[in-house]
Structure 1
Amino acid sequence: MKKSILFVDDEPNILAGIRRMLHQLRGDYDLRFSENGEQALESMAERPADVIVSDMRMPGMDGAELLATIQQQYPHTIRIMLTGQADDTSILKTVTVVHQLLAKPCEPERLKEVLHRAAALHNQLTDGHLKDLITGISSLPSLPSVYARLQDTLKDPEACLDDVAAIIEQDIAMTAKLLQLVNSSFFGLYQKVESPARAVKLLGLDTIKVLVLGIQIFSELKAPGQKAAFATLWQHSMAVAQCSKRIATEASDNLDLINNSFIAGMLHDIGRLLLMSQLGGDYAAIIETARQEGARIETVETRQLQTTHADIGAYLIGLWGFNGDIMEAIIFHHQIDRLPAKSFSAALAVHLANHYYYLRYPEHVVGQPPPLNTDCLAALNCADEAVAWMSECQALMETDEDN
């Protein structure tokens, strides 16, 4: 069945232009058009769209309000904002309701790539076996409280870095763990950091937010008898986060891509964490089967659960409101060939970093190590660069070992 894409804009000329731009895609997608939010909701009620692309500023219900409603009523719909008036206040309104924010005018090829990627992501998130497993889990964790409070604070245009630090400092255990991390060799700081406020100023808000999120996730999700496995997964997640960011920094000067790579690297195995905590011995048996057979962990997961930790992780962070680039990095990091991307992406950064980690630490491999997709590197003309990126990542991990 064709994927359905709904475009919403109060300017008929804009909709007509999009219709002409995407004319050749009519055979691949069911393209629908609405001129305001109310009309779009009526269309969704008749037949939910798989992807919605909305303008931001519209009379009556604006794009942020529309997509917030879509998020609540149709959580599996991929939400994209297309706007030419993205001031800071508007962007803050969309932080937790859009999977992707695109600027007008958007080049035809760029829009087509985004739609293809959105369709691929939707396919994975709506797989029936994934839904069955998620339904069987007693309770999905909510977005960690400290991180959620940071997000809420940052929606206030009057908020400052000291406000962020004050939220972190209210949690003594969080503060201690955060300072331990930022003073590690991973961050290469040449001065001791003694307060969250100083950490925010030196490393930046985006980095601190991700560290807070990771710390709280690994603190709150528990699995009796698997303390060592949790510790190894935390080390792995931190290393992949740092290496993903390093690779993205070398490959691009796009700050959003770099930040998304760091976040996705930290969260790429959150599905494994959830399965370990929720399925306990059953998931431990899956890991042991992968070891005994020398098989890739996701192969055994698919055989026994009919889905993978990558699918489950992306589903969870989608519920938490993270953007589509992060979701696709998590869901495709083991199968980068299924992501229809024509340019460097956070997904590729995580795919590479994950592979480099297991080259450095083969003792942490469960079953068979994740292979490197050389065809994807060749298609994106970055095979040579990948050799240099591997060397940088190996050096980064060696530095941490030495301290």
Structure 2
Amino acid sequence: MTKKKILFIDDEPNILSGLKRMLRSIRKEFHLEFTESGKKALEIMEKHDFDVVVSDMRMPGMDGATLLAEIQKRYPYSIRIMLSGQANEESIMRTVGVVHQFLAKPCDPEYLKAVLLRVCALHDLMAHPSLKEMVSQLDTLPSLPKVYAKLRQAIANPDVPVSEIAAIIEEDMAMSAKVLQLVNSAFFGLFQKVESPARAVNLLGIDTVKNLVLGVGAFTEIKASSKVFPVKELWSHSLIVGNCAKKIAMTQSEDNDLIDNSFIAGLLHDIGKLVMLAKMDKLYEKTTLLAGEEGISLRSAEKRIFNAVHDDFGAYLMGLWGMPGPVIEAIGFHHRLDNYPDNKFSPAIAVHLANAFYYEKYPDTITTAPHAVNIPHLEAIGLSDNIEQWRELCSEILEQEGEL
């Protein structure tokens, strides 16, 4: 098996020496290279492909954010990690949309090794030859929704007023109307009429509204229609899975990043289906029909026709959009937890469970093999005792299917 190649960039020789010592035990599994500047890193990458790039933030000449933005442009298949002691609000916000993971120095050696193992597994999904072949057949890939990108930029300012966030949403009337429709549904249980985006932001919080905008934007900008595939129901399904995944995550952690990433990943877990349908509608309709006729899962039918599956495609697209690593991992692994190289609770597990609970409740919404909870995997990592609690927690949200 070919070793994964990882490039480390830091302008301090002592830091690089420390990393070499820290990672000595994984040299049999990885090919590691080290360099002291962004310029040298780009020169190295012109000659060799790297699966993962790990950069410091503050470096003379070309800083880490600038370097990783250039790598994103030139080598989109490379996973980008920021490992930096400059873990303040401003530096983190500069990496939004560029970095898959942000790790603060000093970083625990075992944690760093675990992250590297996980992102290399993710890279296998994003860089699979069959996926590359399918992507190469498309004329264009969807861009990150513009309103979301503008929101993300505004939120980089910790002092941004709610009125500015609301004004950005209101620039897109369709977006504004859809967000208000969702906020006023039973889905959020606010028990009061919300008549403006500003009020929605005040009640739900900037992060929740930002994530809603991303989901709405993705589903409106990626145009897809079909007589065979239920596109309209896909949005309702995705929103419910996102909310269930968030509720499940809240029982396991108070980490806001983990909770938010579970919601975003649930919202976008099937985005690969939407893109495949939008770009290859006839073939994807054929895939849907094949699954129904033979009683196999949609993923099995996708594999037969495309030699790739929607979760790989979704993970790839989210990588190009600059989503956080845990979101990409959840989208890529929610159907195959056995291949996920982590034994702790994660957004991938939250989305897997939420998706399975949805299809337990609404088996008639699919004509293919059901998505079952992976009980053996949850038993193996000590989480199986929580399944019934999570199922009960999601039952109330699942009752809202008809209201969205």
Which residue number in structure 2 is paired with residue 344 of structure 1? 345
Q: Write the mapping of 1:193-232 to structure 2, written as runs, cut at 5 A.
A: 193-226=194-227, 229-232=230-233
Q: Give, in whole Å, the separation in 1 of the partners of 2:93 and 2:221.
A: 28
* Structure 1 gap segments, 5+ residues each: none
Look up the match of 2:276: 275
CA distance in 1, matches of 2:5, 2:250: 35
Classify 1:187/1:37 alpha carbon distance in 2 versus 1 (closer, same or farther; 3 Å). same
List aligned pairs for 1:349-368, cutoff 5 A. Answer: 349-368=350-369
Q: Which residue of 1 aligns with 2:103?
A: 102
Which residue does the alignment assign to 2:39? 38
Q: Does 1:391 align with 2:392?
A: yes
* 8 Å Cα contact 2:229-2:288 kept in structure 1: no
Q: Which residue in 2 is equivalent to 1:70?
A: 71
Moved more, 136-145 or 213-222: 213-222
* Deviation for aligned residue 1:205: 1.3
Given that 2:237 and 2:401 are in contact with CA atoms closer than 8 Å, whether structure 1 keeps it comes out as no
Residue 327 of structure 1: aligned partner:
328
Q: Aligned equivalents of 1:251 and 1:71: distance in 2?
A: 33
CA-to-partner distance for each residue in 1:291-327, whole Å, 9 max, x for gaps?
Answer: 1111111111011100001111111121111121111
Mapping for residues 124-273 of structure 1, pairs under 5 Å: 124-156=125-157, 159-226=160-227, 229-273=230-274
> Which amino acid in structure 1 is aligned with residue 397 of structure 2?
L
Residues 146 and 167 in structure 1, CA contact (< 8 A), matched pair in contact too: yes
- Distance in 1, matches of 2:229 and 2:29, equals 48
The 8 Å contact of residues 185 and 400 in structure 1, kept in 2 or not, is answered as no
CA RMSD of superposed structures (Å) = 1.6
CA distance in 1, matches of 2:156, 2:250: 27
Please state if 1:50 is matched with 2:81: no
Shift of 1:402: 7.6
SS of equivalent to 1:187: coil
Aligned-pair identity in percent equals: 51
Amino acid at match of 2:334: H
Distance verdict in 2 for CA 1:402–1:122, change over 3 Å: closer
One-letter amino acid of the counterpart of residue 140, structure 1: L
1:303 equivalent to 2:304? Answer yes
Q: Secondary structure in 1 aligned to 2:258? A: helix
Q: Classify the secondary structure of the residue corresponding to 1:102.
A: strand
The one-letter code matched in structure 2 to 1:331 is: G
Render the CA deviation track for 1:51-77: whole Å, top value 9, x for unaligned: 011111122211111111111111111
The 3-state SS of whatever aligns with 1:5 is strand
- Structure 2 unmatched ranges of 5 or more: none
How does the TM-score come out when normalised to structure 1? 0.96
Which residue does the alignment assign to 1:28? 29
Q: Give how far 1:25 is off.
A: 0.7
What number of residue pairs does the alignment pair up?
Answer: 403
Q: CA 1:72/1:223 → structure 2, altered by over 3 Å: closer, same or farther? A: closer
Residue 394 of structure 1: how far off its partner (Å) = 1.3
Q: CA deviation at 1:400?
A: 5.5
- Kindly report structure 1 stretches of 4+ aligned residues shifted beyond 6 Å: none
Amino acid at match of 1:251: Q
TM-score normalized by the length of structure 2? 0.96
Native 8 Å contact 1:184 1:400 kept in 2: no
Distance apart, 1:157 and its partner CA: 5.5
SS at match of 1:185: coil
On the 8 A contact 2:228/2:285 being kept in 1, the answer is: no
Distance 2:304 2:114 in 1: 31
In 1, are the aligned partners of 2:249 and 2:350 still within 8 Å (CA)?
yes
